[in-house]
Amino acid sequence: MSAFTLHDLEAIIAARAGASAATSYTKTLLDKGAAHCAKKMGEEAIEVVLAGAGETRDRVVAEAADLMYHLLVLLKARDIPFAEVEALLKSRTAQSGLDEKASRKDA
Ligand SMILES: N=c1c2ncn([C@@H]3O[C@H](COP(=O)(O)OP(=O)(O)OP(=O)(O)O)[C@@H](O)[C@H]3O)c2ncn1[C@@H]1O[C@H](COP(=O)(O)O)[C@@H](O)[C@H]1O
């Protein structure tokens, strides 16, 4: 399985923020502002919903990838590091105590 992560994609998006809009779809989105990025992400989310409800497995995977990309572009447009989202997810896990249970199970 590929070791490519959302952090890798976040770094690519950050780099493409400095590119020309003529050569970068990411830059085109960012130039249009956070509200446009949010609208695009909403469209991609609907495509995941439709694919998840009744399209092929490959379509679900493809639409999920589009959604992840557009979510990271939106976070970039709002100057929110993906690590901040991860930290919130981690704190929720810690609140539920499931992180300790999971590490005990691994030991
Ligand atoms: N992961 C992606 C990625 N996923 C989806 N997309 C693009 O998102 C768009 C979504 O399709 P749509 O039909 O909704 O959009 P569209 O009609 O083409 O465009 P709109 O005018 O509606 O905005 C397509 O153009 C896809 O190519 C992506 N574009 C870029 N990346 C990553 O970003 C990197 C940098 O890309 P550039 O910024 O283009 O250099 C790439 O190497 C990839 O790693």
Distance 28 CA to ligand 1 centre (A): 10
**Which among 6, 25, 26, 69 is the best mutation to test ligand 1's pocket, defined by most ligand atoms within 8 Å of the CB?**
25
Residue 19 domain flag: yes
Q: Per-residue confidence at 94, pLDDT binned at 50, 70, 90?
A: confident
Do the beta carbons of residue 41 and residue 66 sit within 8 Å? Answer: no
**Which residue has the least CA distance to atom 13 on ligand 1?**
44
Residue 45 domain flag: yes
ipTM of the complex: 0.91
Q: What is the pLDDT of residue 107?
A: 54
- Strands of 59-106 (E only): list them: none
Q: What is the pLDDT of residue 95?
A: 83
**Whole-number mean pLDDT of the chain?**
94
Question: Does residue 76 surpass a pLDDT of 90?
Answer: yes
Domain with 32, as residue range(s), is 6-80
Split into its structural domains, the chain has a count of 1
Residue 107 domain flag: no
Do the beta carbons of residue 48 and residue 64 sit within 8 Å? Answer: yes
Q: Is the CB of 76 under 6 A from ligand 1?
A: no
Residue 91 domain flag: no
Question: Does residue 75 surpass a pLDDT of 60?
Answer: yes
> pTM score, two decimals?
0.91
Domain at 22, CATH number: 1.10.287.1080
Residue 26 domain flag: yes
Q: What is the pLDDT of residue 101?
A: 67
Residue 21 domain flag: yes
> Cα–Cα distance between 73 and 67 in angstroms, integer?
10
Q: Tokens 């970068």 appear where?
A: 24
Residue 31 domain flag: yes
